[in-house]
Amino acid sequence: MPEPTALQLEGPLTFAGSGALWSDLNRKIGAIDPGARLDFDMSKVERVDGGSMALLVQLRADLHRRGATSEFIGAGEQVQKIIHLYRGDVRVGVRTRRRARGTLEQIGAATLAILGEFKQVFGFLGQALIASVGVIARPSTANWKHVTPTMERAGADAVPIVVLINFLVGFVMAFQGSVQLKQFGANIFVADLVGLSICRELGPLMTAIILCGRSGAAFAAEIGSMKVSEEIDALRTMGFGPMRFLVLPRTIALVLVLPLLTLVGDAVGIFGGLVVGVVSLDLTVIGYLQETQKALDMWDVFSGMIKAVFFAIVIAMISCQQGLATTGGAAGVGQRTTSSVVAILFALILVDAGFTLFFHAFGL
């Protein structure tokens, strides 16, 4: 068995001289064979700071991982305290190579993660239902004062982007439809195409998608930041339930503003089609509006409003649930915000398809 050897360290070991110390010690331990022993003799060290100690502990760990043995010996009381603080007297663990997970293991882990998400979603829905019943029984317990500011942020501040997007949707739809309608001399029916598609489908859906990106992501990020900074726990400690204090005001605000924004989007989308009809199809403003009035009835507009109400509930519920499920730090907030937008978009398309099939089945 090789005889133990020791490296004598002396004087004050400071971070300012750690570069030279690191190079010198690395050169000396470079020729150490596996199974050998090389201790660091600290008997003549007057003092050592944290930077130098961290380097020495790293060198000791490198020796252990190469199969050699190394310890700090002869240290005085004060130096020994620094060694203990930096875990220089703790056994160095052996690094194990991470085993790649098999396909079945990955599928199982993903399945368990999905089931865990479903459990959180159902728990959230149950809590939201209980909180809603409690607010109906005792309206004074709701956080009504936050409804109006939330309506302003989610509704009034969103009007410019809603107007722009819906105008472009109506404009593009009319322009694309005019190419085919011109061939049959049916220019006037561009009003039917734009009016029906905007009011029944695209107006509510495009407005909801805009609010998903604006308000849904904002709700998830706000509540997620409160969750990781333990503000949610502080609210519970003070007796404010997160459902009544955070979730319900946002849900009520969106339910109130999204149908109104949908009406604005419908009007602007029809106006976009009107611009194309007048400029490209030689239609008059009066003729276009009269044809739109004949093509639409109150149910076409009202059906879009019904969708908007459910879209608002979907956006608020999913974004708040994802925010309350946030864990970790800033990375967790970003991940849950992204997940909320993706989940909301999927849910919006799913709900819209469900309403379309329902209306078609009953001839509505």
How is residue 71 written in tokens?
Answer: 């310890």
* 152: three-class secondary structure by DSSP: helix
Structure confidence at residue 312 (pLDDT): 93
Please give the Cα distance from 57 to 63 (Å, whole number): 10
Yes or no: say if 278 and 284 are a contact pair by the CB < 8 Å rule.
yes
Structure confidence at residue 4 (pLDDT): 52
Please give the Cα distance from 284 to 271 (Å, whole number): 13
pLDDT digit string (tens) for the chain, length 364 residues: 445 577 777 777 777 777 777 777 777 776 666 777 777 777 887 778 877 788 888 878 877 777 777 788 877 788 788 878 877 777 766 566 677 777 888 888 889 888 888 888 888 888 888 888 888 888 887 788 888 998 898 888 899 999 999 999 999 999 888 888 888 878 888 889 999 999 999 999 999 999 998 888 999 999 999 888 888 888 888 878 888 888 889 999 999 999 999 999 999 999 999 998 888 888 889 988 999 999 888 999 999 999 999 999 999 999 999 988 888 888 888 888 998 999 999 999 999 999 989 988 888 7
Among 253, 167, 178, residue whose Cα is nearest residue 202: 167
Residue 348 has phi, psi (to 5 degrees) of -60, -45
* 6: three-class secondary structure by DSSP: strand
* 72: three-class secondary structure by DSSP: strand
Per-residue burial over 189-222, b if 16 or more Cβ lie within 10 Å, else e, is bbbbbbbebbbbbbbbbbbbbbbbebbbbbbbbb
Q: How many CB atoms lie within 10 A of CB 186?
A: 15
Q: Which residue has the tokens 């076409």?
A: 300
Q: CB-based contacts of 290: which residues, under 8 Å, 6+ apart?
A: none
Q: Going from the N-terminus, what domains does the chain have, and what CATH number goes with each? A: 5-85 (3.30.750.24), 139-361 (no CATH)
pTM: 0.73
Please give the Cα distance from 361 to 364 (Å, whole number): 8
Residue 179 identity (one-letter amino acid):
V
* 83: three-class secondary structure by DSSP: helix
